Amino acid sequence: MPSPAQNAAPECASTHPLELIPYFRRFRQSVGRDLAYTFIWNTLIALVFALVSIVLDPKASFGTELRATFVFAQCIGFMIHACLLVGDRTFARGIKNAGMAMRTAYYAVVPIVAIFPGYLLGFKILDMKNGATWLFTPSSIASILAMSLLLTGLMLLVFIPRERAARAAATIAREQARVAAAEKDAANARYQLLEAQVEPHFLYNTLAHVVSLVDGEPAVAKRMIERLIALLRATASAASTTGTLGSQVELLRAYLEILALRMGPRLDWRIDVPADLAALRVPPMLLQPLVENAIKHGLEPKIDGGTLAVTARRDGSRLLLEVADTGGGIRATRRGVGSGLGLANLRARLAALYRDGASVTIVDNAPHGTRVTIALPQDTSAAAGNAGATLAAATSA
């Protein structure tokens, strides 16, 4: 008769014996799947014991032996399944935290205990009057225990390495996720620190321009100093707070006001960001490099300058950030974005934060110039939320 110890070890590894066959690993674990797997497994056990019975007694009827072993295998197998299910749910925390020896003992003892009611149920179905008398004889009990422990040991030799491999894989996956999150936070922190820095050449040129205006146009010089102070204040704020769209806009506004004083009527600019979007958290250094590039490569080389527009709007589930200029066109823009921060770096950073949820596009701006559009998921807080905490830790170290 079949010994159901085969069901003991799989639960130890949170799996099923049928998963030893690769085909059965394709289906996700569920109550229905486990019941079906248990029925199939019990049937295979019944078939094996029926064949063994025929080998030991060639005169025996295969159909008769298969019927008996099938009934016993199903009764005992499902009884073990039920006992393990109840035990695992009742003692889930204790089993999970127990050592390997304790868990092995648990998954060996529970099936052995379940064997006896399984046999009794089989005797009842098959109407074996003397079955209970045979079951509780010392020799029957000893043979059942020996066979159960033997099969349990064999199953543990298979499933313990699988459990250890699964735990190792889970640990590696958690470590990879932690490293990826740390790298993403570190990248955000680096870019936010970069955003908080005023380019030395820009600062030198602005101060030199102020000096040249002090005597002839003191009011303009004063205005430029005020705008430079606003820019420095905005960069200091960017270094100490979580990046929002509003903080990036304030930084751009101070930057463009200084450039407007330097370039005069050659620069016409506007920023159109609705108030309800200003509080959205976005990754740092999104707009600043695009604006700098538009000025440096698009508008400054032109004798008559041009217009720069920075806009933000919702488009369904996305947030669209646009920097458009009337400068030298898309070729000049690509040349500029290709250096420094770089279009490739910007796209790679957005891909790391949002995977396929974000995009950067560059198109011609009619009638001339360039339009760069960054599309982000509207809920940007998930990707940008950790940058401020990481930055604060870095700056306080």
pLDDT tens digits for 331-354?
655 554 444 456 777 787 788 788
Q: What mean pLDDT is predicted for residues 94-99?
A: 71
β-sheet bridge partners, residue 325: 308, 370
pLDDT at 20 over 80: no
Instruction: Convert the pLDDT of each residue in 113-153 to its tens digit.
Output: 888 888 889 888 988 888 888 888 888 888 878 877 776 77
Q: Quote the CA–CA distance of 382 and 281 in Å, as a whole number.
A: 9
Q: Could you give the dihedral angle defined by the CA atoms of residues 345, 351, 357 and 362, in that order, rounded to the nearest 10 degrees?
A: 20
Q: 6 or 218: whose pLDDT is higher?
A: 218
pLDDT (tens digit per residue) in 226-260: 877 777 776 666 554 557 888 888 888 888 888 88
Check residue 386 and report its DSSP letter. Answer: T
Whole-prediction pTM: 0.47
Q: Which CATH class is domain 196-396?
A: alpha beta
Rounded Cα gap, residues 313 and 322, in angstroms: 9
What is the distance between the alpha carbons of residues 75 and 124, in angstroms, rounded to a whole number? 10
Extents of the domains making up the chain = 4-180, 196-396
- Mean pLDDT in residue range 183-205: 61
Angstrom distance (rounded) from CA 329 to CA 294? 9
Do residues 332 and 297 lie in contact, with contact meaning Cβ atoms separated by under 8 Å? yes
Q: Could you say which DSSP state residue 281 is in?
A: B
Contact, 107 vs 78, CB < 8 A?
A: no
Q: How far is CA 354 from CA 14, 52, 190, 234, 282, in A?
A: 34, 60, 18, 27, 11
Percentage of the residues of the chain whose pLDDT score is greater than 90: 12
Question: What sections of the chain are H helices per DSSP?
Answer: 8-12, 31-56, 62-90, 92-97, 100-126, 131-135, 138-195, 200-214, 218-238, 245-263, 288-293, 330-337, 343-354, 381-384, 387-396
SS3 at position 233: helix
Side by side, the strands of the sheet bearing 306-315 are 267-272, 306-315, 318-325, 370-377, 359-364
